[in-house]
């Protein structure tokens, strides 16, 4: 082979090697870039003390084919070092043993004890207490059952899954038909539909108008509110009876 042809083949070989090297480098760079983009799109890894994260969770306590209560949360986080789950945007709907009630407890976050089944909501908690019949009427036409609803707000509520008891030792404010009130400490026995304020109770009652009084001129129909204080209070959701313990 002539020296000029050998030089030509050498140049071709070098060019082919450079092209192959450039192609290989391009493919490698593309894979690195794709992996980088996929890593950016991927969710962040769970912290070292977290077992798993779930988006959306719901579980119920059943009595045969009847739901006693249902717990819904938008997010659940399980922890490795504790036998608890952190629930976020929590809604507990209580139907009771007979299914006659429709109590709703809401909180931004709660801890769920996996072993005992207890639920502790340390932040602000809201209660809406009403019967299943009132809830059905309200669903058909918003506002239909608003006057029959008891609304309460408090903090640090513990819900016992076994007994259906929701309780707190913190101050409570509540609004009910024809009145409002506040107190310290709160217990709600969901299956019986009974609420109890433990101490330092204050009530503001607005008397309802009879049909004759409602037809009277506004000046004569006005009735003064009644302010009451007592040591504790029992309220039955079914009978609509307030029992204020003395001295009153």
The radius of gyration computed from the CA coordinates of the chain, to the nearest angstrom, equals: 33
- Nearest-CA neighbor of 169 among 197, 150, 202, 191? 197
CA 190 to the chain's CA centroid: 17
**What is the chain's percent helix, strand, coil content, to nearest 5?**
25, 50, 25
- Choose among 232, 241, 224: nearest CA to 150: 241
Max intra-chain CA distance, the chain = 127
CB 153 within 8 A of CB 173: yes
Domain ranges of the chain: 1-42, 50-245
Task: Give Cα separations from 155 to 104, 105, 237 (angstroms).
Answer: 15, 12, 21
- Please give the pLDDT value at position 122: 87
Query: Looking at the predicted structure, is the pLDDT value of residue 209 above 60?
Result: no
Return the pLDDT at 198.
Answer: 95
Q: To the nearest whole number, what is the mean pLDDT of the chain?
A: 78
Structure-token pair, residue 29: 């760079």
Q: Nearest CA to 244 among 206, 196, 185?
A: 196
Q: Residue 62: how many CA atoms within 13 Å on its side-chain side?
A: 4
Question: Whole-model pTM?
Answer: 0.68
Predicted confidence at residue 43, as pLDDT, reads 45
Q: Assign residue 188 a region: left if phi > 0, alpha if psi is -120 to 50, beta otherwise? A: beta
Residue pointed to by tokens 């809201």: 126
Structure tokens, 33? 């870039």
**CATH code for the domain defined by 50-245:** 2.60.450.10
Which of 28-37, 77-86, 94-103 is least confident? Answer: 28-37
Do 57 and 77 contact (CB within 8 A), yes or no? no
């Amino acid at each position: 082979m002539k020296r000029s042809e050998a030089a030509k083949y050498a140049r071709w070989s070098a060019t082919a090697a450079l092209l192959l090297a450039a192609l290989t480098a391009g493919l490698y760079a593309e894979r690195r870039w794709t992996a980088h983009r996929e890593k950016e799109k991927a969710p962040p890894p769970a912290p070292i003390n977290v077992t798993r994260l779930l988006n959306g969770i719901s579980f119920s306590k059943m009595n045969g084919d009847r739901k006693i209560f249902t717990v819904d949360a938008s997010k659940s986080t399980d922890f490795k070092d504790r036998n608890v789950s952190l629930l976020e945007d929590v809604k507990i709907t209580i139907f009771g043993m007979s299914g006659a009630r429709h109590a709703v407890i809401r909180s931004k976050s709660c801890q769920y004890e996996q072993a005992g089944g207890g639920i502790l909501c340390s932040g602000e908690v809201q209660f809406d207490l009403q019967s299943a019949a009132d809830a059905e009427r309200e669903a058909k036409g918003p506002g239909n059952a608003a006057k029959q609803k008891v609304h309460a707000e408090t903090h640090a509520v513990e819900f016992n899954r076994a007994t259906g008891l929701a309780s707190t030792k913190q101050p409570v404010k509540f609004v009910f038909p024809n009145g409002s009130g506040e107190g310290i400490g709160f217990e709600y026995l969901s299956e019986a539909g009974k609420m109890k304020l433990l101490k330092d109770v204050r009530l503001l009652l607005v008397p309802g108008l009879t049909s004759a009084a409602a037809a009277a001129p506004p000046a004569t129909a006005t009735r003064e509110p009644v302010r009451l204080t007592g040591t504790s209070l029992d309220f039955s959701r079914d009978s609509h009876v307030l029992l204020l313990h003395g001295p009153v």
